[in-house]
Structure 1
């Protein structure tokens, strides 16, 4: 993915897609996930109306902007700094941003269009129950902060009363089950976090592609990841101290007695929860997943009253489950049995308030931002309420907005051109497979079959979400959020037991992003990312292939990264490799991980090559496929020289400028700790693995990025 989603699926908890994402470093999404994601979705989705910094008319044909280039830097020493350094020196970060960059510029257009749709929804006074009325009412309710303040904590009080009434572990189990939502996604989104004790993901069974099952995933933390609780690094210790203070402050603002002691108990419990969690690297390994029957939970994970849990979760008769992090499920269940009931009640009270801070009184909302915005990402100012309201509507009614967006803003000509580029890049990848000498015939045949049946969606889905059962009121911001989350949860539960829809979209058209869906063996390229400077019909082919073409190639390549390569052409978790082929593939991956381990994002803070491996494989392979497709598009003719740049120079420069980013140090630190993507600056450096980059920019031995031919990682 290039940036974070404007999609209802992700705004309600799906988070980072397993894709080319990362150009918008403001963080993960999900109003039902960890609260850092709740804050960051507003940062990522609502990007303001600042002037666009798209290339000037003089550069329109080349598709690159030479004013961004820092000519004092040798391309072979730091290609990203060469491509974007002059821009970064002069770019000013708005107070309500954790980052800015090319994705910010592209999203400005998408956000302005989306705002026009949402703000104009009520202009014609649509009838009650229509999608236009629901859009208008959701927006109005979220904006009405005076009404939210007047109500105080009354909207959440029934929940707090129910928590106080919990008298035993069976009742606690029922409450934990009732709170569960479809807010995690380990396959499409590499989103492993939820503030609820467990999260649910619904998709096809890993071994039975025709059967849809629920996946249970670990949760329960208010900080982004287990390392925030367990790391000995001073920066992490400072965040833990600030989080403990925030927990106490939120409880105090909510009028909860003995807030300091409760905050201590919550922090102690969450530390034990963190100790039970699988790591991000472990959570990316689909081979660790176990198929459990309903009866297995009581035997394998005692401590929770599972019958009470599943009844309250709306799955009273479900028999087949997948335990995504089985060891964590066992340990978390034991904590339910062994930790004091009062600690769990304190924990439930805090997270109930924390997850709903945006629709509770201003003092609570501000405190939430002070921690998740200022402390975690270094963002000085909160986004305006109006901009956050746009994000809230997109989160709840994304398809309703997207249906209008696609009709208004995505012409058939753009759809046809992108479909043509996708076809060319898939063909280029297939041609590489044919030529790879080390792949055994059986491995190569299945790899090519994956490409042959790959389903590609461009612009918008063929079917839209039906919101007829979602109740929206213009005077009930809190209730609207609760009903929208429950609506999404029930939508996901309704898929269980049915055949998988390979054409299902996981994003909306107004999403500036792209995604690979390995179980569906499908790709989605929403309309909003298909805009300048990622794609522009006026640009020479070199720029379009270097920018959007690299994204397309990246998504195609995800079918063959360290996770995608585990799935065959039907979406089944299946080893289709010979032992020798798999060893060669894993060796290439290890070399790429080591390459990224060596990069320092901040002094003493190295990137995590293993954690980021899938995305880095897709970057290398995708850029290679895009480059070869670009040359194929020339039909044997020499590339034109435009503005003094050869075709290859423009291709690589467009790629580098498509990742143009400036980020606050706190946001960068959070990014490295929790994300499966390398930060944008280091994704650009993947060019050092492509032979063609060296002559294009006269890169020679002794320069920082130079790799001898045998050290360049090819993977595919």
Structure 2
């Protein structure tokens, strides 16, 4: 199943989840995850736990570590040392525990809906969907039978045109394609929707898994996994076909852009008519693909990684039809496996979660069922979630905090010494046009056209995917809906949309430790204030800065100011690239550039906004901590957590966010006030000389 994220093209989120890779890469919005929450459906899911007496859990500190030696360890070390990652997780920490709370809340809503025989509308929809997943006995009894019709279509494909048409059709359901397609705001005409095409075709998380020797073990296990799924699907010659499939994907990996290259909004905006695309990448039957995806109404497309297209098309042209059909059968089975009988589920877990992320145990079935409904009919579930769990007063308090952070950003822009007046005026204009969404949508999605059945899980998932795709494609000739949300209310995350110049904060993140209306204000400014600042700064990071206040991708900078900005950005990238969290695996400073800039800006803005809130009065001291110290501690508390080694290795290759430890330590070393607050000296390991500190926003 393809989750067609609203923000698939260019939205920047606070964190990313380790979602399984599929043959089509939709570049989704990155999802996140905070202190222990109730696991049982009958547990207390009414509210998140307060962190300590005033919003900070001082018992989690490691006070025998100097702040300037390792600030993350100083703020969180005792908590992290004692933290045991749950067996059904590949990582755990602040975000993840708050996510557990949200998942438990959704479970309570779903189980009540599923048990209510008189339910109607959205409640009936989500209850029936959940019930179809939870009926394991019925799913197991069907074995591989749900695949039969889709596999028959693949067997009947005799030509390359047939295969390309099937690839287009997979945009509506299960299966793989060597090119992805999605409908989103046009970056250079953000009031209209357009079709984006992208490189795809890889079943492992990234091209590095195919091309680098330190992933040789995972590549070998992947080939065995492909053969295993082909065997379960009843496809002939599984071992030989698996070998050919991995060879084909390796060639695609060699042709593909790196993730760092794919971040460049200028280089990924490449419009073509279908005729131009056929001439540019002639090895692929584009018209058949477009027809299969129901995109014939599109007058043009944006080819994101355009120079990779001819090479990937050539791989398609040179790969025998029978290998392509085996690949189609494998990708279909891989995506459908979580919704089939237990042998498919177990095989999928063993490779996708255990091998790639080191997760020792499969998540309980109910958790997987909750995730499915949230991904498939998220606003139907979110509407009931908000009514039960989101207090209206939280929205008003958040609006006030956002206003404070915007004021702080305005002051920072006005005080910049490296930026000229012309660019500064346009930056201030962009900031003035920022819009914000908090909690939940003003208008909820209508799911009345989605049919679900309690005894047809496979069909429910396919129909949900087709329903979503039709919704996106059906808007190609319509103006962009600025009221639409790219995350569901129960999501523990936040994001910035460049085309809408908009920051969004779902209901589930507006809880401790991010936001606690009864906590010390300094902690809130370091927590949710830093998050708000992070998202605002995304509008001015190395890519967000390329869009203007109306969301249009255009260059509004003077050449001199752009050069100064990029010099500081490169300096920050070098700081991160020098860090080696695992032997042989450094942080990729280019891939993580936007998030690193946003972290630095977010923390600075949270600190500034706290100072503004004092209105000239001295900050109180609480338990011996000054106001500035508490802001920094509030930021550090947000990033508590630890990863399994395989999950961390995967993050370093695929995730545009740096590991949590360094989201605390690197930004702080570039902020003068941190040195003053904690009396950090040149003798401390984290000390960075003033002239070497990065100063952007």
Quickly name the TM-score band, shorter chain normalised. Answer: over 0.9
Instruction: State which drifts further: 297-306 or 690-699.
Output: 297-306
Distance in 1 (CA, whole Å) between partners of 2:238 and 2:457 is 27
Q: Counterpart of 1:550 in 2: which secondary structure?
A: helix
Q: Please, which of 193, 201, 207 is the counterpart of residue 182 of structure 2?
A: 201
CA contact (8 A) 1:153 1:254 kept: yes
**2:656 matched residue in structure 1:** 676
- SS of residue matched to 2:152: helix
Q: What SS does the corresponding residue of 1:560 show, helix, strand or coil?
A: coil
RMSD of aligned C-alpha atoms? 2.6
SS in 2 for 1:303: coil
- 1:440 matched to 2:430? The reply is no
Q: Where does the alignment leave 5 or more consecutive residues of structure 2 unmatched? A: none
CA pair 574-35 structure 1, distance change in 2 beyond 3 A: closer
- Say if 2:200 is the partner of 1:210: no
CA distance in 1, matches of 2:25, 2:366: 23
The 8 Å contact of residues 15 and 29 in structure 1, kept in 2 or not, is answered as no
Structure 2 residue 111 is matched with structure 1 residue 119: yes
Give 2:404's aligned residue.
424
Alignment of 1:508-587 (within 5 A): 508-587=488-567
| CA pair 294-132 structure 1, distance change in 2 beyond 3 A | same
Alpha-carbon distance change, 36 to 449 in structure 1, aligned in 2, over 3 angstroms: closer
* Mapped pair 1:258 → 2:231: no
Task: Write out per-residue CA displacement over residues 432-488 of structure 1, whole angstroms, 9 at most, x where no aligned residue.
Answer: 101112212221111111111111001111111110111100000000111111111
> What is the distance in 1 between the residues matched to 2:80 and 2:178?
41
Q: 1:670 to 1:134 in 2, by over 3 A?
A: same
1:49 and 2:39 equivalent?
Answer: yes
Label 1:482 to 1:257 Cα distance change in 2 as closer, same or farther (>3 A): same
Using the TM superposition, name which of 327-336 and 82-91 deviates more: 327-336
Distance in 1 separating the partners of 2:585 and 2:274: 43
CA–CA distance in structure 2, aligned partners of residues 511 and 302 of structure 1? 42
Distance in structure 1 (CA, Å) of the matches to 2:324 and 2:37: 38
- 1:149 aligns with one of 140, 143, 166: 140
Partner of 2:668: 687
Spell out, residue by residue over 1:99-138, the C-alpha distance to the aligned partner (whole angstroms, 9 max, x if none). 111112222321222111111113432356x211111111
Report how far residue 294 of structure 1 moved.
2.0
1:486-510, Cα deviation, whole Å (9 max, x unpaired): 1111111122122122232101111
CA contact (8 A) 2:26 2:182 kept: no
Partner of residue 66, structure 1? 58
2: distance between equivalents of 1:262 and 1:674? 27
Kept in 1, the 8 Å contact 2:164–2:286? The answer is yes
Q: CA distance change for structure 1 residues 16 and 574 in 2, over 3 Å: closer, same or farther?
A: closer
Matched, 1:93 2:85: yes
Given that residues 499 and 551 in structure 2 are in contact (C-alpha distance below 8 angstroms), is that contact kept between their aligned partners in structure 1? yes
| TM-score, normalised via structure 1 length | 0.92
CA contact (8 A) 1:516 1:556 kept: yes
Corresponding pairs, count: 690
**Residue in 1 that maps onto 2:442:** 462
1:36, distance to aligned residue in structure 2 (A):
13
Tell me the SS of whatever aligns to 1:458: strand
Shift of 1:373: 1.1
Unpaired segments ≥5 residues, structure 1: 1-6, 184-193
Please say which of residues 174-183 and 666-675 is displaced more in the overlay: 174-183
Matching of residue 18 in structure 1 with residue 12 in structure 2: yes
Conserved 8 A contact 1:30-1:37:
no
Return the offset for 1:14. 5.0
Match of 1:646 among 613, 618, 626: 626
Structure 1 residue ranges, 4+ long, deviating more than 4 angstroms after superposition: 7-10, 12-17, 29-38, 40-44, 50-58
Q: Show the counterpart of 2:589.
A: 609
TM-superposition CA deviations, 1:371-400 (whole Å, max 9, x none) = 111111111000111111111111111000
Change (3 A) 1:33 1:298: closer
1:658 to 635, 638, 663: 638
